[in-house]
Amino acid sequence: MLEKYFSAPKTLARLRSGPSGPYIDGFAEALERDSYSPLTAVRYLRAAAHLGRFLERRSGSFAAVSSSALDAFYRHLSRCHCPPLNSGRDNYHTRFGAKRFHSYLVRTGICQPYRSSDADRSEPELIVSFRDWFRQHRGVAEPTLRQYARGAAALTDALGADSRRWKAVQVREFMLDRSRHCGAETTQRLITSLRAFLRYLRFRGLCSADLDQAVPAFAHGRLARLPRCLSAEEVERLIAVCKGSTPRRLRDRAIILMLVWLGLRAGDVSQLRLSDIDWQCGTLRVVGKGRHEVRLPLPQDAGEAVLRYLECRLPVPSSDRVFVRHLAPFKPLLSGDGVSNVVKRACDAPGSKRRRKVLTSSAIPRPQKCCGTEFPSTRSDWFCVIVVST
């Protein structure tokens, strides 16, 4: 498989003779399967060989690769004096190539997956049950669960594992102490997490009644003024920036049109599946917060943009998500951050002439005829919205 990327016999022999040699052809095949460009594949294969030579000098093996070993390799790159044919002298791509090679070895069973020190610490049983209960009964997404669990774990570490002995004054002092070292948004998220955790404990009878009332409120003027929004002309320029026939341009145009016409959240767009679109009726099923489901009309131009994108999009057999990455490895957009980055790039394009603001909505709205009207948001990270009826 290496012959696809290298032709010199000496180079092929060198790559196959090192510690990475037994796995290098399989890694090259995996890179081709994931649709990496030839230039990127060559860089990553050189990085795999470089990592093998580094482990050989340290008398290590791939089976014992850990986070500390990879960190040591990354530090080695800044002072690397390896032959250029082995290292490539490209620290940026070498880091990513070594990480991708390690992931390949983990998938094939050569290496054991390593965990960071935070992940090695097992969560208390109370926190685990709190996660499971909220996931099952409230339909809370995983990022929200992680946020709630961090706040719950911090409170448990500070006050002790026996929640029945917690006092209101202790909870209040803990919250006030943490607020002195946090910003306004972080403090507000912590308040929400602690109240949710204490209400769960009250539900199970593991703390005194109304202990959640001991968590003080925090006024930070988030909605002191209405959010800024884009005008109709600015939205038209933003859509025009995404004109083109490449898969990336078609994807970005479809995403922006769905945000503009339907007022969806970035997370709603990233979670959209092929089965959610009813082409026969021209509707779109959206599952929002708390598993709230609603069916919205799919505008003609947005539907056509999605169809054009799907015609040229590379297939992702393991997922039915509509929108995927445009760079290898091709996989679905797993969170709203990918959708937000799409709009940020469009806002930064020369033709847009607009500040970086993401077109997302705080809720799934009914179509309204309000070009340029400012909509207040209920999210802590509000963005601008323009919703226009058809």
Give residue 116's pLDDT: 45
Helix axes 142-159, 168-179, angle to 10 degrees: 120
Q: Is the pLDDT of residue 316 over 90?
A: no
What is the sign of the dihedral through the CA atoms of 268, 347, 229 and 184?
positive
Fold of 232-348: hpI Integrase; Chain A (1.10.443)
Pick among 1.10.150, 1.10.3470, 1.10.357, 3.90.1690: CATH of 125-214: 1.10.150
- Residue ranges covered by each domain of the chain: 2-116, 125-214, 232-348
Q: What is the pLDDT of residues 50-75, one digit of tens each?
A: 888 888 887 767 776 767 778 888 88
Q: What is the pLDDT of residues 71-116, one digit of tens each?
A: 888 888 877 777 655 544 557 788 888 888 888 888 888 877 655 4
| Cis-peptide into 350, omega within 30 deg | no
